Structure 1
Amino acid sequence: MFIYGETSKSKMHVAGLLPFTPPADAPSDYLRRMIDDARRQEIQAPWNRKLAYPRLQFSPLHSWVVDEDFDFDYHVRRSALASPGDERELGILVSRLHSNPLDLTRPPWELHVIEALEGGRFALYAKVHHALVDGYSAMRTLARSLSTDPQTRDPRLFFNFPPPSRERRAGAAGDAASSNPVTATLRALAGVGSAVTGGVGSAVDLTSALVNTQIRRDGDNVKISGSVSAPHSILNARISRNRRFATQQYDFDRLKKLSSQHGSTINDVALAILGGGLRKFLLDFDKLPERSLVAFLPVNVRPKGDEGGGNAVGAILAPMGSDIEDPVERLDVITAATRAAKAQLQSMSPTAILAYSAALLAPAGGQIAGAVTGVQPPWPHTFNLCVSNVPGPREPLYFNGSRLEATYPVSIPIHGMALNITLQSYADTVNFGFVGCRDRLPHLQRLAVYTGEALSDLEAASEA
């Protein structure tokens, strides 16, 4: 499906941006040595695999074969930022790299070692086609190349490690679909047929959920009512091939304090500041809809009595509060809406949860099909953007003695969804990765800045 969905404008690769601070004793040729050491190691599966018939995009059956002529220097590249090597310069380079498609005649991945960041730092930008690995496998493989010990010296990169084994608990609803919205999409779509054969209870759960999906305000209360429809916005346009990427990082404790003050989750606070940032960003273009923007949120939903192992995977819709000027009121509305939506999922069977998530994604699936066929579906949008929250490690990590500063996910915009935002917690920070269509959403870095202003506004209003 990811191969079928690949077009010149809608590219099905994901990436991660990882900035590092090298150890104090790093020699001047530290990065060259690291790359040379990795070159001498064996390239492990699946990183040495390519499509058997890459030019037959719509073949009914694709398979992977070993690339006998693997070109290390094609896949691992060095780049350097122009002075002053700050976050703006880094964002410009990553935007350009993420705009370029992967070569499907080769193993579909690239690693860019980016040098000359301020303060002698460097970054790794790893890009991989979603047909090769899912987010779960990629994150586990990456984690094996990192250590909690700053004294560990192991220059092997992620492609030097054999693939991690997958341990599935019998009856688990999924594994890491919530860690990547595209993976969640496919797994949810796979559940449609199961809902039909899953028994009367699943069908009743699904019907009830679909009837009661739209979340609206009624005075001080949040109620669930009829049809699903998000306002049309500039986020729901056809996209070009060009991408823009921006980042933002906040102390975890700032968001945690606000969540405790308002009885919200960290994710609710993140949605509230994103909603405030989007409000100001769209006002700049005089394109703010009268109704709130709606986000699609992949979530974990664990049934009562489930003691752990695997994930219960579902999806909900949530208002961004972009129609609300007051930051505290915006957070209260979002909190009530997400709480109601999660309660609704908790009352459903696992099969119905998957089918319900697929139903929410059906219009987006139509947009993907439209990217391939050139014919866009006539139905309204159920959401305007995707916001995904990926829990990360709470302890600092190191690669070959270099301290990992942040983890910024770089996801996939599609036709009809020109903006995708992913959050990832790491150590004592929360990292935001904004990726969008450069031509539909110019000056995307302003959204990251406005998100910071929205956080300050919420903090000030909460202390008033």
Structure 2
Amino acid sequence: MKQVPGLDALFLHLETPEMPMHVGALHLFELPPGFRGRWINALRKHLQARLPHAPALRRQLAELPLNLVNPVWVDVMPDLRVHVVPHTLEPGAGLAALHAEVARLHVELLPRDRPLWKFHVFEDLTPGDNGRKRVALYTQLHHAAVDGQSAVALAEVLLDLTPEPRELPAPGRRRAKQVQLGTVDQWRLALSEQAKQFIDLAKSLPASAGTLTQVAGSAAGHTLARTAKNVLARFTGAGKVASAASHSMLNLAPRTRFNVAVSATRSFASISLPLPALQAARKALGASLNDAVLYLCSTALRELLKDAGELPRKPLIAAVPVSMREAGDTSAGNQVTMTSLSLGTHIADPKKRFAHIRAATEHMKGGLGALKSLMPTDFPSIGLPWLLSTAARAWGGVAERIPPIVNLVISNVPGPNVPLYLAGARMLTNAPASIVVHGIALNVTVQTYEKHLEVGLIACGEALPEIDALAGHLRAAYDGFIELAAAD
């Protein structure tokens, strides 16, 4: 039994019917030749064997008295008939139908009286060009339990390198059952955890103060100060000079269709782009893969908004998650922070726009190292469940009135470069599906897999119903980036 850390618990307290806080992916699998029976049965059998090695799939929430502090995780054995469920599509249905199903399922909240995950299986899909049967799997995992890197670690437990599942070492003896504590024991656990967190926070203050002193004199510190000043000016009307500074310094994002209160609807699209050509192009330009991904998103968003007559004069600002996880750390839970950068969407020339993005990423890296140490993953939570749940419900009513800091989220998660298998089936694609929140109605998540860059686009269904158009612009941006490198 372990109390949910503060950063993980935020995803629980901020969840509403309009803002589900789970992540997932749409996977397409090819069944092995001669496969008989239903793949969902093979999948359940496979998961049953791997559960002892996958604690993230066995953790269930237990609230402490009065829901005054963060809940605790208890170890249980999930019922796979409830967590792995079948779906059917119309005969001949293709990728568009799968996208529509993901959009429909993504707004369904995961019940908190069981482990926070669910797998949706779609069988009887149209066979591939080689005639082999295909199935699809849409996964849901609550963000309170995993971040991008720990989800990759979970995948390493569930997936295999060959169609024949590998044998894992026998786990130690364990008894998965709900632990019942009396009220006094629950209060003792809650208060002892809070006391420990206060002590840890106090111990970190001297080091944090020294880091803040360094940051204050850095580019990151100046950026933070300008941003705070400009936000204050927008609220207080502190003159034209501050307003002009906010535009020139690019500290506030322009308001777009993405900066709205989200509804309980979603639109989803996925594309798979060849990775070798993209890697060659970005190396020719002396850039990172992340620079290339940001350029593709910038170009696609610019074209989408320009076609709709909605391209702002200021550049769009992207929120970019950054992992704080140490190398080799495969623990569950979240170790991630968030930064932001300009996408240069106001620049028409592709070469100049790419140079703008590269400069923005370098500036971001320069200030991030010191700031990462200031962002704890755990902190005292007395009163936070009530406070944050109330704030989340109220946020939808004010999200459209507050000046936006960012326009969308762009996340880049490294993945495996070899083919993987699940319950004997080969994974062909792996398109992520992430979170949108009030004020940020679009999320673009990419992950490398084998020889492809897998892109998952998810948005509020009312803010961006034509999400397929954005996917099309991404494909065109990919072609343009290859040409840009060739010309250079």
**Shorter chain as normaliser: what TM range?**
0.7 to 0.9
Match of 1:371 in 2: 392
Find out whether 1:90 has 2:113 as its counterpart.
no
Alpha-carbon contact 1:277-1:451 (below 8 Å) kept: yes
Match of 1:6 in 2: 15
Match of 1:127 in 2: 140
Match of 2:161 in 1: 148
Find out whether 1:52 has 2:62 as its counterpart.
yes
Q: Which amino acid aligns with 1:351?
A: S
Match of 1:404 among 427, 450, 475: 427
Alpha-carbon contact 1:76-1:113 (below 8 Å) kept: yes
Q: Which amino acid aligns with 2:255?
A: H
SS state at 2:144 partner: coil
The verdict on how the C-alpha distance between 1:275 and 1:370 changes in structure 2, with shifts beyond 3 A counting, is farther
Task: Report the Cα distance in structure 1 between the residues aligned to 2:436 and 2:301, rounded to whole angstroms.
Answer: 16
Instruction: Give the alignment's TM-score, normalised by structure 2.
Output: 0.73
Task: Report the Cα distance in structure 1 between the residues aligned to 2:270 and 2:99, rounded to whole angstroms.
Answer: 8
The verdict on how the C-alpha distance between 1:60 and 1:36 changes in structure 2, with shifts beyond 3 A counting, is closer
Q: Which amino acid aligns with 1:211?
A: H
Once the two structures are overlaid, the 10-residue window that deviates more, 129-138 or 114-123, is 129-138
The verdict on how the C-alpha distance between 1:386 and 1:40 changes in structure 2, with shifts beyond 3 A counting, is closer
Task: Report the Cα distance in structure 2 between the residues aligned to 1:232 and 1:242, rounded to whole angstroms.
Answer: 21
The verdict on how the C-alpha distance between 1:380 and 1:17 changes in structure 2, with shifts beyond 3 A counting, is same
Find out whether 1:206 has 2:215 as its counterpart.
yes
Task: Report the Cα distance in structure 1 between the residues aligned to 2:122 and 2:88, rounded to whole angstroms.
Answer: 5
Alpha-carbon contact 1:34-1:155 (below 8 Å) kept: no
Match of 2:259 among 236, 255, 260: 236
Match of 1:138 among 141, 151, 159: 151
The verdict on how the C-alpha distance between 1:65 and 1:342 changes in structure 2, with shifts beyond 3 A counting, is closer
The verdict on how the C-alpha distance between 1:71 and 1:314 changes in structure 2, with shifts beyond 3 A counting, is closer
SS state at 2:124 partner: strand
The verdict on how the C-alpha distance between 1:36 and 1:299 changes in structure 2, with shifts beyond 3 A counting, is closer
Match of 1:81 among 61, 78, 89: 89
The gaps in structure 2 that reach 5 residues or longer are 1-9, 128-132, 173-199, 228-247, 377-386
Match of 1:331 among 354, 360, 370: 354
Q: Which amino acid aligns with 2:138?
A: Y
Alpha-carbon contact 2:20-2:109 (below 8 Å) kept: yes
Match of 1:177 in 2: none
Match of 1:168 in 2: none
Q: Which amino acid aligns with 1:25?
A: G
Once the two structures are overlaid, the 10-residue window that deviates more, 369-378 or 327-336, is 369-378
Match of 2:72 among 63, 69, 87: 63
Task: Report the Cα distance in structure 2 between the residues aligned to 1:96 and 1:395, rounded to whole angstroms.
Answer: 31
Q: Displacement, 1:267?
A: 1.2
Q: Which amino acid aligns with 2:345?
A: S
Higher helix content, 1 or 2? 2
Match of 2:24 among 4, 12, 15: 15
Find out whether 1:289 has 2:312 as its counterpart.
yes
Q: Displacement, 1:155?
A: 11
Q: Displacement, 1:398?
A: 1.6
The verdict on how the C-alpha distance between 1:134 and 1:390 changes in structure 2, with shifts beyond 3 A counting, is closer
Q: How does 1:27-42 map to 2 (within 5 A)?
A: 27=36, 29-35=37-43, 37-38=45-46
Q: Displacement, 1:296?
A: 1.5
Q: Displacement, 1:49?
A: 4.0
Task: Report the Cα distance in structure 2 between the residues aligned to 1:43 and 1:345, rounded to whole angstroms.
Answer: 37
Q: Displacement, 1:226?
A: 5.0
Match of 1:343 in 2: 366
Q: How does 1:248-327 map to 2 (within 5 A)?
A: 248-299=271-322, 315-327=338-350
Instruction: Give the alignment's TM-score, normalised by structure 1.
Output: 0.77
Alpha-carbon contact 1:144-1:161 (below 8 Å) kept: no
Match of 2:113 in 1: 105
Alpha-carbon contact 1:256-1:266 (below 8 Å) kept: yes
Task: Report the Cα distance in structure 2 between the residues aligned to 1:226 and 1:254, rounded to whole angstroms.
Answer: 35
Task: Report the Cα distance in structure 2 between the residues aligned to 1:406 and 1:246, rounded to whole angstroms.
Answer: 13
Alpha-carbon contact 2:208-2:373 (below 8 Å) kept: no
Task: Report the Cα distance in structure 2 between the residues aligned to 1:54 and 1:117, rounded to whole angstroms.
Answer: 45
The verdict on how the C-alpha distance between 1:337 and 1:67 changes in structure 2, with shifts beyond 3 A counting, is closer
Q: How does 1:397-436 map to 2 (within 5 A)?
A: 397-436=420-459
Q: Which amino acid aligns with 1:115?
A: E
- Which structure has the larger Rg over C-alpha atoms? 2
Q: Which amino acid aligns with 1:99?
A: V
Task: Report the Cα distance in structure 1 between the residues aligned to 2:209 and 2:49, rounded to whole angstroms.
Answer: 55
Task: Report the Cα distance in structure 1 between the residues aligned to 2:431 and 2:360, rounded to whole angstroms.
Answer: 27
Alpha-carbon contact 1:75-1:111 (below 8 Å) kept: yes
Task: Report the Cα distance in structure 2 between the residues aligned to 1:161 and 1:433, rounded to whole angstroms.
Answer: 35
- Counting aligned pairs with the same residue, the percent is 30
Q: Displacement, 1:15?
A: 1.0
Aligned length: 405
Alpha-carbon contact 1:243-1:436 (below 8 Å) kept: yes
SS state at 2:213 partner: helix
Q: Which amino acid aligns with 2:114?
A: R
Q: Which amino acid aligns with 2:101?
A: L
Q: Displacement, 1:435?
A: 1.0
Q: Displacement, 1:454?
A: 1.5
Deviations 1:154-173 (A, max 9, x none): 699xxx999xxxxxxxxxxx
Deviations 1:141-165 (A, max 9, x none): 2211212223x14699xxx999xxx
Task: Report the Cα distance in structure 1 between the residues aligned to 2:97 and 2:88, rounded to whole angstroms.
Answer: 10
